[in-house]
Amino acid sequence: MMGMVEMRDDEPTDAPAASVTAPLLPHVIVLFGATGDLARRKLLPGMLHLAEAGLLPDYRLVGVATEELSHDDFRALAREAVEEFGRAKVTDSSWHDFGRRLAYVPTSAGPAGLREQVLLHEKELGREARHLHYLSIPPTAAGPVVRMLAEADLVDRARIIMEKPFGRDLESARALNATVHQIFREDQVFRIDHFLGKEAAQNILAFRFANGLFEPIWNRDHIDHVQIDVPETLSVDGRAAFYEETGAYRDMVVTHLFQILAFIAMEPPTALEPKAISEEKNKVFRAMLPINPAHVVRGQYEGYRSTAGVDARSQTETFVALRADIDNWRWAGVPFFLRTGKQLAEGARIVSIAFREPPKSMFPAGSGVGTEGPDHLTFDLADSSKLSLSFYGKRPGPGMKLDKLSLQFALHETGREADVLEAYERLVHDAMVGDHTLFTSAEGIERLWEISRPVLSEPPVTLPYWSGSWGPVTIDDLIAPRSWRLPFRRGWRTPTA
């Protein structure tokens, strides 16, 4: 089966994918950073899965990286990657079809060598073939690669996906946007933030805007605070060079966590289309107050400095927790607490909305009301996502004792878990189709760097924390008198099939 849709260049770029119907044209996918961690873990397995799901058109994939590899070396690396990280078992026939489409060119071949390889493969696909350049490289390498594409004359029929973080700060993001715009039109550019490609993140939009139930209480009158908490158990092994120059704030907060914050905080967009969604997200970013360094806790796990490739006196944070404030009518006075870090006690991705407690309690002392915290709406953004609404209810039996109960829903209850596309797969497909809905905008990114300026220029000291903990102990002062939801006091119910 062929992929589904394609846009012509002269069509408005804010049209949602659903409005275009022609079949996808063949693509040469040029993957920069093809031997890197992301390519091996997500992009190569994702391409194979998309191909097997019938969502790719006829394609060739040219890997590009600094290593001097032959085509066969790259194919061997790719095979290992899809076997280790792919979702399904790789059969000889699925590998045969995928492997034969792969090629490799080292960066040392320069623009002429790159062009030669791409044109060679394009010839096999026919004259209509498009190019999709995926820049899975650190922000400092992005400008040079964009210029290399111009020198190789691979711009006209191309789209370009750019990985986060986009720049390192406001100045570098502006400079990178300026370089990109000298070479590509904005409608050719797809700035990726894979959290927005997660099924569960899109479900936040569905939940908020397809239902009338919660929107009337989605504001400062009814919501006490919000937590966006993404602890990870992973270390930075294998990507220390990238991490050392990036750190948790740039890697996770200014990217994924703020983008999720925008989905939670935005006003209803006028339509489910890129311009309308981007405008509402950007309004949230504009209303955010600069991050106050006094509201930021930075941490580094014990042992980080002995990782190969890490400076023995490194101040890079592997953990960050902070308070963000949105100064608009809907959210004034409602703190958003964000936390993420490596080598923590558990891996999770939750958004938790804490509702205000009732103004007065008629329940007798000792009834249990309020003892388990406020009512919460919790989105679990795990791959197998869940949702929970907790509330107090009467304990069966005599008298009036109250327990915290919850309504819960798990993705697999839809019976359609197998249809979920992994975030990168979804977004690569959207970029091929020309749909910008789930990508970030130049304006939004620049604004996020702008509000990050105080914390980037005067970062609080990096505090040590033990691997397997929840970060430096001062995170409790940051959120007091409230408390972090994780670790959960009551686990999720095991959903029944």
Identity of the residue, 251 or 317, whose beta carbon is nearer to ligand BG6 in the bound complex: 251
Window 239 to 278, contacts with ligand BG6 (CB under 6 A): 251
Helix (H, G, I), strand (E, B) or coil at 167: coil
Nearer to ligand BG6, 352 or 390 (CB): 352
First-to-final CA distance of the chain: 31
Which SS3 state, helix, strand or coil, does residue 202 take?
Answer: helix
Q: For residues 423 and 416, give the distance between their C-alpha atoms in angstroms, rounded to a whole number.
A: 16
Whole-number minimum distance, CB 111 to ligand BG6, in Å?
A: 28
CA 36 to chain centre: 18
- For strands 350-355 and 296-301, give the pairing: unpaired
Which own/partner pairs from 78-84 qualify as long-range (CB within 8 Å, at least 24 positions apart)?
78/44, 78/102, 80/40, 81/39, 81/40, 81/41, 81/44, 81/45, 82/44, 82/45, 82/48, 84/40
Could you tell me the smallest distance in angstroms from the CB atom of residue 140 to ligand BG6?
Answer: 15
CA distance 478 to 210: 34
Residue number closest to ligand BG6, CB atom: 251
Residue carrying structure tokens 């320069």: 110
Please check whether residue 12 is in contact with residue 18, taking contact to mean a CB–CB distance below 8 angstroms. Answer: no
Q: Which is nearer to ligand BG6, 349 or 426 (CB)?
A: 349
Query: Which one, 46 or 335, has the nearer CB to ligand BG6?
Result: 46
Question: How far apart are the C-alpha atoms of 170 and 190, rounded to whole Å?
Answer: 19
- In the numeric block, which tokens belong to residue 374? 């406020």
How many Cβ atoms from other residues are within 10 Å of residue 186's Cβ?
12
Binding residue (CB under 6 A) for ligand BG6 from 199, 224, 229, 232: 232
- Based on CB atoms, which residue is closest to ligand BG6, 69 or 248? 248
Torsion angle, CA of 144/146/149/151, rounded to 10 degrees? -60
Separation between Cα atoms, residue 249 and residue 321, nearest integer Å: 9
Closest by CA position to 338, among listed 192, 126, 484? 484
CB of 232 to ligand BG6, least distance (A): 5
Per-residue burial over 49-64, b = 16 or more CB atoms within 10 Å of its CB, e = otherwise: bbbbeebbbebbbbbb
User: For this structure, is 256 an active site residue?
Assistant: yes
Residues for the chain: how many in total? 497
What is the identity of the amino acid at 311?
D
SS3 370: coil
The answer to whether 149 and 135 are in contact (CB under 8 A) is no
Q: Break the chain down into helix, strand, coil percent, rounded to 5.
A: 40, 20, 40
3-state SS assignment for residue 116:
helix
Nearer to ligand BG6, 207 or 249 (CB): 249
- Backbone φ and ψ of 312, nearest 5°: -65, -15
Nearest distance in Å: CB 296, ligand BG6: 18
- Which CB atom, from 6 or from 380, has the smaller least distance to ligand BG6? 380
* Residue 301, helix vs strand vs coil: strand
Give the nearest distance from C-beta 239 to ligand BG6 in angstroms: 8
Q: Which tokens belong to 166?
A: 């986009």
Nearer to ligand BG6, 22 or 234 (CB): 234
| 229 versus 232: smaller Cβ distance to ligand BG6 | 232
422 makes contact with ligand BG6 (CB under 6 A): no
- Residue 209, judged by CB atoms within 10 A of its CB (0-12, 13-18, 19+), counts as middle
Give the alpha-carbon dihedral of 269, 275, 280, 286, to 10 degrees. Answer: -170
Span 311-370, contacts to ligand BG6 by CB under 6 A: 349
The answer for residues whose C-beta is within 8 angstroms of residue 139's C-beta and 6 or more apart is 165, 166, 167, 168, 172, 176
The least CB distance from residue 86 to ligand BG6, in Å, is: 15
Nearer of residues 350 and 478 to ligand BG6, judged by Cβ: 350
Count of positions on this chain that bind ligand BG6 (CB under 6 A) = 4
Catalytic residue of the set 27, 49, 225, 256: 256
Tell the smallest beta-carbon distance from residue 100 to ligand BG6 (Å): 30
**What amino acid positions are annotated as catalytic residues?**
256
Query: Binding residues for ligand BG6, per CB under 6 A?
Result: 232, 234, 251, 349
